[in-house]
Amino acid sequence: MKINDNYLRLKESYLFSIIARKVTEYKGANPGKEVVSLGIGDVTLPLAPVVVEAMQNAVLEMGKAETFRGYAPEQGYSFLRKTIAAYYAAKGVELSEGEVFVSDGAKSDLGNILDIFSTENTVLIPDPVYPVYVDTNIMAGRNIVYLDGSEANNFLPLPDWNIKADIIYLCSPNNPTGAVYSMEQLAEWVAYAREHNSVILFDSAYEAFIQDKALPTSIYQIDGARECAIEFCSLSKTAGFTGIRCGYTVVPMDLVRGGTPLNKLWLRRQTTKFNGVAYIVQRGAEAVFTPEGLRQTKASVEYYMENARMIAETLTDLGIWFTGGKNSPYIWLKCPGGLSSWEFFDMLLEKCGIVGTPGAGFGRNGEGFFRLTAFGSRENVIRAMERLESGQPW
């Protein structure tokens, strides 16, 4: 019996446990002072009323013999896949129902999709990055090449045509940097992927935060993407579904590698290792895409975006360099005074009682940077920005 010893090569992440410990220590040492967190990566506003109503009705249906439903289709109910296809159609992207896969979230699919690819493939991952892209590939023993995000490229790295990668991760709007690729930049990635026969895994989990109509909210808005990209999205941030668990993955019929349509491989993976998403959850997700649902969830997104705007405005006043905040709930700032990520974390906590996330926790290129999020309450954001404006400790 051998275990998968690739697991032994994984680095333990102590990022959030260290943050928690430091906050606890600070509170212990400063009983009077109240700490404001701008480090939250989770939504805080409740579910939209239309979603609550839809799920309430679905629960009742499951309690009656006439309307009870057993196993759901592994790929998702047709009513939801049609609705998602219509959501894409509204942004100019034509999808067939069979190209949409409903899942329990983008995180699951981003990890599980690797099952259909050879472990011999080389993976290209931007740095800084959502750590899951890296860890899921280390678990499979794949060779990973990193792509440098930096102040110089506004944390929107473009392809290096001299490097050949088989699987490419792109996340736009980006976590942690909040940076968003333009149509032209994504077009360059699509051209690179088609030239190298690579597959782009496009994480669009934050697409609902894009305000600028000129920016792409789906990679399929780029010609040729259907032949080289799989898109992962989720209702977690769009509709506050982090605790409801519903996402969707698009695998176009035109995406063929080694003579095999990847849609067929993913369908086989899902029908073999997955049993579909709860009917109740799928009815809740369907409600998100109704006109009223879109209105209600948009209101929550706008609430978060006003938080982001206030944070961005303050940083601009203070002359601090940052990305994000305009089309993303994340603000990625350059630590002032040449401080390291953790030095800035300590100073911000000590002097302003503000908690954020050290950029160094997201990869080598995150050192010297810092992530703030817009998911807190308005009151906390106002309080935090006042402390920053006045207290500027650096």
142 contributes a contact to a second copy by CB under 8 A: no
117 contributes a contact to a second copy by CB under 8 A: yes
Please report how close the Cβ of residue 322 comes to a second copy at its closest, in angstroms: 25
180: exposed, middle or buried (Cβ count in 10 Å: 0-12, 13-18, 19+)? buried
Binding-residue total with a second copy (CB under 8 A): 74
60 contributes a contact to a second copy by CB under 8 A: yes
Return the range that interacts with a second copy (CB under 8 A); candidates 182-190, 267-275, 323-331, 380-388. Answer: 267-275
Residue 292's identity, in one-letter code, is E
Rg (CA), the chain: 21
Closest residue by Cα to residue 251 from 58, 72, 116? 116
User: Under the phi-then-psi rule, with left for phi > 0, alpha for psi from -120 to 50, and beta for the rest, what region is 96?
Assistant: beta
Return the range that interacts with a second copy (CB under 8 A); candidates 110-118, 180-188, 309-317, 357-365. Answer: 110-118
Site residues (CB under 8 A) for a second copy, limited to 288-307: none
> How far, in Å, CA of 211 to CA of 155, rounded?
19
Site residues (CB under 8 A) for a second copy, limited to 162-201: 166-167, 197-199
Q: Among residues 56, 78, 143, 150, which is the contact residue for a second copy, using CB under 8 A?
A: 56
Map residue 27 onto helix, strand or coil.
helix
Is there a contact between 80 and 288 (Cβ–Cβ < 8 Å)?
Answer: no
34 contributes a contact to a second copy by CB under 8 A: no
Please report how close the Cβ of residue 140 comes to a second copy at its closest, in angstroms: 9
268 contributes a contact to a second copy by CB under 8 A: yes
Please report how close the Cβ of residue 261 comes to a second copy at its closest, in angstroms: 10
Q: Among residues 265, 288, 305, 360, which is the contact residue for a second copy, using CB under 8 A?
A: 265
β-sheet bridge partners, residue 260: 257
Is there a contact between 349 and 22 (Cβ–Cβ < 8 Å)?
Answer: yes
Return the range that interacts with a second copy (CB under 8 A); candidates 142-150, 180-188, 273-281, 362-370. Answer: 273-281
Residue 309's identity, in one-letter code, is R
Site residues (CB under 8 A) for a second copy, limited to 213-252: 240, 242-245
Map residue 138 onto helix, strand or coil.
helix
Q: How far is CA 302 from CA 299, 342, 344, in A?
A: 5, 31, 29
Residue 241 or 369: which CB sits closer to a second copy? 241
326 contributes a contact to a second copy by CB under 8 A: no
Please report how close the Cβ of residue 259 comes to a second copy at its closest, in angstroms: 9
β-sheet bridge partners, residue 168: 124, 200
14 contributes a contact to a second copy by CB under 8 A: no
